[in-house]
Amino acid sequence: MKSETYRNTKQRSRILEILCHTDSHPTASWLYDQMKPEFPSLSLGTVYRNLGILEEQGLLKKLRSGSTFDRYDANTYPHAHFCCTECGSIYDMRDVEIPDMVQTVNKQTPHNVLEINLSYMGICEECLKKK
Amino acid sequence: MKSETYRNTKQRSRILEILCHTDSHPTASWLYDQMKPEFPSLSLGTVYRNLGILEEQGLLKKLRSGSTFDRYDANTYPHAHFCCTECGSIYDMRDVEIPDMVQTVNKQTPHNVLEINLSYMGICEECLKKK
DNA sequence: ATTAGTAATCGGAATGATTACGAATAAAGG
DNA sequence: CCTTTATTCGTAATCATTCCGATTACTAAT
Ligand SMILES: [Mn+2]
Ligand SMILES: [Mn+2]
Ligand SMILES: [Zn+2]
Ligand SMILES: [Zn+2]
The listed range with the strongest mean pLDDT (A62-66, A84-88, B11-15, B99-103) is B11-15
* A1 is near strand D: CB distance < 7 Å: no
How far apart are alpha carbons B113 and A85 in whole angstroms? 10
Q: Which of B17, B59, B80, B54 is nearest to A101 (CA)?
A: B80
pLDDT surpasses 50 at B1: no
Q: Which residues pair with A122 in a beta bridge?
A: A84, B113
* Model confidence pLDDT, tens digit, residues B21-48: 999 999 999 999 999 999 999 999 999 9
Do B71 and A86 touch, CB atoms closer than 8 A? no
Residues of A in contact with B108 (CB under 8 A): 95
Average pLDDT over residues A13-39: 98
Q: Which helix (H) or strand (E) holds B101?
A: helix B98-106
- Minimal CA–CA distance to A104: which of B87, B113, B118? B118
Q: Does B122 touch chain A (CB under 8 A)?
A: yes
Residue A100 — pLDDT band, cuts 50, 70, 90? Answer: confident
**Record: contact B82-A114, CB cut-off 8 A:** no
Query: For chain A, how long is the longest CA-to-CA vector?
Result: 53
Interface contact flag, A111 B64, Cβ < 8 Å: no
Q: How confident is the model at residue A1 (pLDDT cuts 50, 70, 90)?
A: very low
pLDDT for the residue A67: 83
Which run of H or E residues covers position B13? Answer: helix B10-20
B49: the nucleotide nearest its CA (via C1') is D18
Rounded to two decimals, the pTM is 0.92
- Cβ-contact B118, A81 below 8 angstroms: no
- A3 — contact with chain B (CB < 8 Å)? no
Kindly report, residue by residue over A27-78, the tens digit of the pLDDT. Answer: 999 999 999 999 999 999 999 999 999 999 999 999 987 788 999 999 999 9
- Domains recognised in chain A with CATH numbers: 1-64 (1.10.10.10), 77-131 (3.30.1490.190)
Question: CB-based contact (8 Å) between B87 and chain A?
Answer: no
Give the CA B44 to C1' D28 distance in Å. 30
Predicted pLDDT of residue A3: 56
Instruction: List, as one string, the DSSP characters of A98-126.
Output: HHHHHHHHHTT-SSEEEEEEEEEEEE-HH
Whole-angstrom distance, CA of residue A124 vs CA of residue A127: 5
* Mean pLDDT, rounded, for B99-116: 92
What are the phi and psi torsion angles at B101 (to 5°)?
-60, -40
Residue B30 phi, psi (nearest 5):
-65, -45
CB-nearest partner of A123 from B82, B84, B112: B112
Comparing C-alpha atoms, which of B76, B75, B28 is closest to residue B50?
B28
- Classify the C-alpha dihedral B104-B105-B109-B115 as positive or negative: negative
* Pairs from B7-13 (Cβ < 8 Å, separation ≥ 24): B9/B50, B10/B39, B11/B35, B11/B39, B11/B42, B11/B46, B11/B47, B11/B50, B12/B50, B12/B53, B12/B54
